Structure 1
Amino acid sequence: MNLANKITIARILMIPIFILFFPTYPDWLAEKSVFIQHINVYGIYYAAAVFLLASATDKLDGYIARKYNQITNLGKLLDPLADKLLISAALILMVSQQLLYAWIALIIIGREIIITGIRIVAASQKMALQADQYGKIKMVFQVIAIAAILLNNRPFSYFTDIPIDQILMYIALVLTVYSGYNYIRNNYRKLKLDT
């Protein structure tokens, strides 16, 4: 397994760490553990740091794969899957803590499930469909929006009362829907679908 794919797998392994740090522990459990109490107060910052670090590895593995000619079909499949798992975990936890409307998470996760389904069909036909530019832009906005919401609109709240984190999430939502539509439109004819 090459270095780029190892970095992608490391990103997937960071997801449980992100979940561990997310402050969702009940009070009865926090009363029994100083560590849980600490996580309930400061864990959101640790979770945001792990989320940003994991997201940054997306650029790193792509850079290494291109620079050292390590692009593989496994990497083409695992890389977007790692992104989808990370984003989905963040959205579900944010909804559970009422940091995000459930309908926004449902649309974004639903789009990711549909695109993953298309990728699986393509993989069964020995094809690896790569993300297009819109998908990459969508990912950037999702990461920034999620991080800003996790950090309670920081650093934007230092300069303005405008909920920039929420605005970024709506932009990410629009880009998510559009990039999904564009991906399906561009790749539908490549797939040999039984009718």
Structure 2
Amino acid sequence: MTRSWATPDNGAADWSRRRSPSVNLPIGLTLTRIVAVPLLIVFLISSSRVHAVIAAAIFILSAITDWADGMLARRRNQVTTLGTLLDPIADKLLVAAALVSLLAIDKIQAWIVVVIVGRELAVTGLRAVAASVGVIVPASRLAKWKTVSQYVAITMLIVEKGFAPTGFHVAATTVLWVALALTVGSAIDYFYRFLRKADYRAIVPGEERWS
């Protein structure tokens, strides 16, 4: 009798272990960041000062989850394929949504949005190509500073939208230019490191891999 109950329990335990990587806390934080995107857009394009405060709070909390999910995944040894896939998607959705919303209310120039969003798409595409040919290019310190500067610049622009304190526009614009420079610089650095790792190898005819 005891043995007959052991098998279902073991099966349930195996099922739980298989399920746990897909529902861990780091991935939950990443999904929260994705869910926050439409809320950010709604409050950011509103003309209400109260909504500007809410938008700033949503963006800041979302930015914090960007740091927290990675830290928790490493500390808890919960780095998963799903988390690795969703995290950069959530980051880019958050930044792109904020920038496009700021563009819609004339708080940022269109070409800046194109450069930043275009950079993110280009690097994401190159990262996919690199992974497909077995080339791993880890995030650089420059890329991390790029992310931080983008978060700070966007937060300052949201605050300026709601309150526009004297002299704040100059500070927000300065940080935005720093973020723009780091955005372009980190893209160049990523492409350069990819080419070095790939060693300028050519694709073998008839095969989708590097020779």
TM-score band by shorter chain is: 0.7 to 0.9
Partner of 2:25 in structure 1? 3
Q: Which digits, 9 at most, give the CA deviation of each residue in 1:75-100, with x for residues without a partner?
A: 23321221111111111111111100
Q: Could you tell me which amino acid in structure 1 is paired with residue 87 of structure 2?
A: D
Q: Which amino acid aligns with 1:151?
A: V
Aligned counterparts of 1:141 and 1:156: Cα–Cα separation in 2: 20
Deviations 1:121-155 (A, max 9, x none): 23444666442211111111100111001101899
Between the aligned partners of 1:122 and 1:138, the Cα distance in structure 2 is 21
The answer to whether the Cα contact below 8 Å between 1:58 and 1:83 also exists between their aligned partners in 2 is yes
Q: Which moved more, 1:168-177 or 1:101-110?
A: 101-110
Q: Contact between 2:43 and 2:55, CA under 8 Å: does it hold in 1? A: yes
- What is aligned with 1:46? 54
1:119, CA displacement in angstroms? 2.2
Moved over 6 A (4+): 153-156
Q: 1:74 Cα deviation (Å)?
A: 2.9
Match of 1:194 in 2: 203
Residue 177 in structure 1 maps to residue 184 in structure 2? yes
Cα distance, 1:12 vs structure 2: 1.1
TM-score, normalized by length of structure 2?
0.75
After the TM superposition, which of the residue ranges 148-157 and 53-62 deviates more from structure 2? Answer: 148-157
Pick aligned residue for 1:59 from 51, 59, 67: 67
Q: Does 1:116 align with 2:124?
A: yes
Paired residues in the alignment total 180
CA RMSD across the alignment: 2.5
- Return 5+ residue gaps in structure 2 as ranges: 1-21, 205-211
CA contact (8 A) 2:53 2:162 kept: no
> Which of structures 1 and 2 has the bigger CA Rg?
2
Judged with a 3 Å threshold, the aligned counterparts in structure 2 of structure 1 residues 91 and 193 are, in CA distance, closer, same or farther, namely farther
